[in-house]
Structure 1
Amino acid sequence: MPPQTLTPSKLRQQFPEFFGTMAYHYMNGPLHPSGHTICGRTVTKVAEILGSDWVGSLVHAPLSHCREGVYIHPMETVLVTKGTGIVAAIPSDSLEGFHQGIKNYGAFKGEIVQVIQAKVQQQLLDSGEAFQYTEPDKREISRSGDECGVALMDQWYLDYGETFWKNTTLEFVENSEAFNIYVQETRNGLRGVLNWLDQWACTRTYGLGYKVPWDSQFLVESLSDSTQYMAYYTVAHKLTDIYGQVPGTLKIPNHLTFFIYIYLAIFLLEYWPKAIRENGHLLLNDQKSTRKYGEDATQITLADAGDGVNNTNFNEQVADATILRLHALREWCEEQVKANPKPNLSPSAGLTLFDKTFANYMNVLAAECCRHYADTNKLQTRSEGGAYLEWQALLLAVIAPPGRSSEVLGRRGTIHNATFPVPRANDPALTVQGEYIRSTTSRITSALAAYEKKAKRKSLDFDPKKPSALNIHTASTFPAWQDDSIDILHESFDGDNQLIDNDSLTRQVLALSEATKAMPFVQTLKKRFLSGEQPDSNFERKLVFDEVLSRGQALSVLKSATGLVRIDIIEGVLWRYQGSQP
């Protein structure tokens, strides 16, 4: 029910039984889904109303002498996250009167307020004008990032405070000969927990877990459900290699204590635990990094930290950037799915040059990604995840499950059971063609930027805001320095197109008159040959693709990337860019 359709006065008239607890429901969030019970009463969501909507309303204040009610006024200094967020008092008098004031009205007239607080509380409970609830003593954040509250619900409890069970466990913990704990602080911690632990809520209503055998509406709470898995270690060495487990200090107040309790209750003496050893956590700036960055960003940053011989470095800047990239990836996936809910990614007729080069590039990157995963070299894998929505999700899932973009795709089942991408064979011609178009775009934008900078210094007649055109010349023959470079490269490869002597190749190229241009040219060709491209066509001075046709098909992209209004391609001219106006 929208707030604007229900005024506070109407709400009081229609639902008086909810009036006294509405503030708590709002300030601390929903207690639990509608239909559950609290203190034996079924909770039903009535409305959501802002606190500011109540200002000026006349409300009933229990035990007040103002029988017609009191008016609600705003108080910015009150802690809205503690209690109900309501102060039924005059702020100027409440500080002293709350502790040392004398009651001058009601059943406890003449007594000190601090002394009768418990009596007044019980009076309100007995009259039904109040109920007890619990709240965390400090701010608690769940693994999902939500702020936690506390609600009293129907619940099953394990009675860890039962006298015989508790005393047996205490004696066992104190027996250093039978139970080795290694560190005295751990024994002290267990002793302290055993002395205060009483009833433990052991069920929940949602999530993963086994159903309670005697009450199927509940699931066994995770900490209570995992107290016997260590029994698996008694046979695990027969099944697979294990490295054991060293629990953290945070498990003393719950998991480790439950573990001891349950083993003593179920197993014979000879199978009781022999030892436990705890450790601390690896902190980042005195904080658990997973709480700061989240699971996915932390795991991707750890992958980025490196798998080689270099020092592993958890870079906070990488973690921050990863969060933004994952968020941007999810947004982009949502936009693409919304624009095209059922994309056809299968090969078909009518694909443009960019469709083909993009699909081929994805195959190249996916194959490289699979190779790095096989070598457990995740630092290289991180930047080669591909861009198809489904492939992106599957490739990311290895490092950061479930690769959050997978949720957007709406696939059935879990991503962990999905088939890993199987890339098709690389088409070297398409790879070279795609690199050629990218390098052409880069050279054009670099030349325009350099000319704009030069025009500012020398006051040339050039305005980048005005429409500009470009002539692209395609040569039918190679310049002399490129011919010489290809000849040297040809001599350095054997009949199986394998590089013979890289050092000799480098010396010959450096001896050329235009070595500064020849060296990057040779390195580019060598990289292409070693990645699978057949060098024969290059040695014969033939391109593996039609240069003029490729540029013609790329005109729209070149215009969009460079901001030029017209691009003309001139064929068959031996032309070299000398830094003049493009």
Structure 2
Amino acid sequence: MAYYTIAPLLHKDIFGKELGPANVKPGHMTLEVNISGKDLLGKAHYLHTRIELIITQQQKQSKSSGNFLTLSAATAKYGADAARVAMGDAGDGIEDANFEESVANSSILKLFELKKWCEETIFEAHLVSSAEEYAKVRDSNKVKNTDSIQRTGSFGFFDKIFENELNGLVQQAKTHYGATNYKLALKAGLYDLTSARDSYRSSTAAADVGMCAELVSRYIEYQALMLAPIAPHWADYVWTEVLKKPSTIQNATFPNVPDTNPELNAQTAYVRGTSSNITSAEGAQQKKMAKGKTVSFDPTKDKKLVIFAQAEYPKWQARYVDLVRDAFDGLTVDVKTITTKAADKSA
């Protein structure tokens, strides 16, 4: 039964605040309906609903076109966690959500590979005390997964960058969860978090120092906590079976992390920007070689990079820096607010 056929009997106004002629209150009703339109917002408090996925593959659901998908069918096809990730990625607000089957399929693989990585780095961890020992163990070929070779001791440059990124992404995810912006929470709490981990892995491997054991464990803990609202089964497995926590993750709270360090944010942006420029330049040279053009670049030889750095600004720039510094002298700038707004705009 369509809701609008009985709506005039239930309430006189469109918001359901004034009781209708049927004198039926919300507590008197237990109806099961399919909701597929924004026109029912504000009236659903009368109903116990079974919500269907309203759009699949950018198309309105239709039994005739075969793209009609219920929650139970999605769960049976993709599993609860992967289906929830796809629904979280479908979008927030009052616009029609789009359930992408490709997202659900890729989520199955992503969650499996992430679980496997967490298991290997924890269960097969090979701790070393220095970068030199890391390189020695790695080159011995006795360890199957080099991610399992992890350093102990103080943090290095890439460790500090990764720790700073973890703190920032956790803060972003918590903010988005609080605002019920689940698509953005999923972006910060899964996609960006794993991207930060991948960058940390590649950077420490290239620098021959390996990852820090403390940060690996912290990342896995944060990853489970940030994903718990959307993929609770995956998160609880990692929490109890991999990290060996004493109770379910449902009893845990989001971590309290310090504010990000603006200096480290700037360093991260510079390092990654420079790395991207180098990769682009190398790719451009390889394209020229593929076209038969003569270039000085030889991909078979060891690569060497020369970076020119200037100790101080040119005089004409220094003059304007001093002017700005004098103008802001005595003023207080809230860096946290500025960086938070910038992060929200970029998202």
Q: State the TM-score bracket (shorter-chain normalisation).
A: 0.5 to 0.7
Provide the rounded CA distance (Å) in 1 between the counterparts of 2:316 and 2:115: 48
Residues 305, 312 of structure 1: 8 Å contact kept: yes
Does structure 2 conserve the Cα–Cα contact (< 8 Å) formed by 1:373 and 1:381? yes
Q: Could you tell me how far apart the structure 1 residues matched to 2:249 and 2:170 are?
A: 17
1:453: which partner in 2? Answer: 287
Looking at structure 1, the residues matched to 177 and 116 of structure 2 have their Cα atoms a distance apart, in angstroms, of 27
- Asked if residue 530 in structure 1 is aligned to residue 315 in structure 2, the reply is no
Asked if residue 383 in structure 1 is aligned to residue 187 in structure 2, the reply is yes
SS of residue paired to 2:308? strand
Q: Is the 8 A contact 1:303 1:399 kept in 2?
A: yes
Kindly indicate whether residue 274 of structure 2 is the aligned counterpart of residue 466 of structure 1.
no
For 2:28 and 2:91, how far apart are their aligned partners in 1? 23
How far apart, in 2, do the equivalents of 1:373 and 1:476 lie?
43
- Residue 356 (1) aligns with residue 164 (2): no
CA distance in 2, matches of 1:294, 1:399: 13
The 3-state SS of whatever aligns with 2:311 is coil
Q: Structure 1 residues 446, 362: CA separation in 2 closer, same or farther (over 3 Å shift)?
A: same
Give TM-score, length-normalised by structure 2.
0.57
Q: Which residue of 2 aligns with 1:293?
A: 78
Select 1:420's aligned residue among 242, 249, 254: 254
SS of aligned partner of 2:307: strand
- Residues 65-76 of structure 1: pairs in structure 2 closer than 5 A: none
The SS at the match of 1:453 is helix
CA distance in 1, matches of 2:169, 2:51: 40
> Structure 2: how far apart are the matches of 1:473 and 1:410?
48
**Matched letter for residue 421 of structure 1:** P
Deviations, residues 219-249 of structure 1 (Å, cap 9, x unaligned): xxxxxxxxxxxxxxxxxxxxxx979654489
- How far off is 1:340 after superposition? 2.8
- 1:455, 1:461 within 8 Å by CA — same for their partners in 2? no
Q: Is this contact kept in 1: 2:285–2:295, CA < 8 A?
A: no
Cα gap change, 1:277 to 1:436, in 2 (>3 Å):
closer
Find the partner of 1:325 among 83, 107, 110.
110
Change in CA separation of 1:349 and 1:465 when aligned onto 2, cut-off 3 Å:
closer
Q: 2:124 aligns with which of 339, 363, 379?
A: 339
| In 1, Cα distance between equivalents of 2:171 and 2:180 | 14
Query: Separation in 2 of the partners of 1:391 and 1:333?
Result: 12
Distance 1:321 1:340 in 2: 28
Which of 387, 391, 395 is the aligned partner of 2:226? 395
* CA positional deviation for 1:491: 10
Q: Once the two structures are superposed, what CA deviation does each residue of 1:263-313 show, in whole Å capped at 9, x if it has no partner?
A: xxxxxxxxxxxxx99979557623422221111111111111111354321
Contact map agreement 1:360 1:430 (CA 8 A) in 2: yes
**Structure 2 CA distance, aligned partners of 1:381 and 1:246?**
32
Residue number in structure 2 paired with 1:111: none
1:484 to partner: Cα distance: 9.5
Equivalence for 1:434: 268
% identical aligned pairs: 36
Q: How many residues align?
A: 237
Letter in 2 for 1:352: G
Residue 195 of structure 2 is aligned to residue 410 of structure 1: no
**CA distance, structure 1, for counterparts of residue 287 and residue 252 of structure 2:** 52
Q: Which has the higher helix share?
A: 2
8 Å Cα contact 2:259-2:336 kept in structure 1: no
User: Highest CA radius of gyration, 1 or 2?
Assistant: 1
Cα 1:463–1:289, aligned 2, differ >3 Å: closer, same or farther?
same
CA distance, structure 1, for counterparts of residue 28 and residue 263 of structure 2: 49
For residues 489 and 308 of structure 1, the distance between their equivalents in structure 2, rounded to whole angstroms, comes to: 41
- Structure 2 alignment gaps of length 5 or more: 3-25, 35-46, 57-66, 129-151, 198-218, 342-347
Classify the secondary structure of the residue corresponding to 1:324.
Answer: helix
Q: Is the 8 Å Cα contact of residues 293 and 319 (structure 1) preserved in structure 2?
A: yes
Structure having greater relative contact order (Cα 8 Å, sep ≥ 6) = 2
CA contact (8 A) 1:365 1:384 kept: yes
Residues 282 and 374 of structure 1, relative CA distance in 2, 3 Å threshold: closer
Q: CA deviation at 1:426?
A: 1.9
Indicate how the Cα distance of structure 1 residues 342 and 460 shifts in structure 2: closer, same or farther if over 3 A, else same: closer
How has the CA–CA distance of structure 1 residues 412 and 461 changed in structure 2, closer, same or farther, with 3 Å as cutoff? Answer: same
Give the TM-score normalised by the residue count of structure 1: 0.35
Q: Who is 2:174 aligned against? A: 370
Task: Give the deviation of 1:483 after TM superposition.
Answer: 6.7
Note the aligned Cα RMSD (angstroms).
Answer: 4.0
| C-alpha contact (below 8 Å) 1:246/1:279 kept by paired residues | no
Contact 1:428 1:532 in 2 (8 A): no
Q: CA deviation at 1:422?
A: 0.9
Q: Give CA deviations for 1:122-145 in whole Å, capped at 9, x if unaligned.
A: xxxxxxxxxxxxxxxxxxxxxxxx
- Looking at structure 2, the residues matched to 491 and 312 of structure 1 have their Cα atoms a distance apart, in angstroms, of 51
Offset, 1:316: 1.5
- Structure 2 counterpart SS, 1:410: coil
Check whether the contact 1:248–1:281 (CA below 8 A) recurs between aligned residues.
no
> Which residue identity lines up with residue 319 of structure 1 in the other structure?
A
> CA, structure 1 residues 449+280, in 2 after alignment: closer, same or farther (shift >3 Å)?
closer
Identify the residue that residue 476 of structure 1 maps to in structure 2: 311
Q: Secondary structure of the equivalent of 1:463?
A: coil
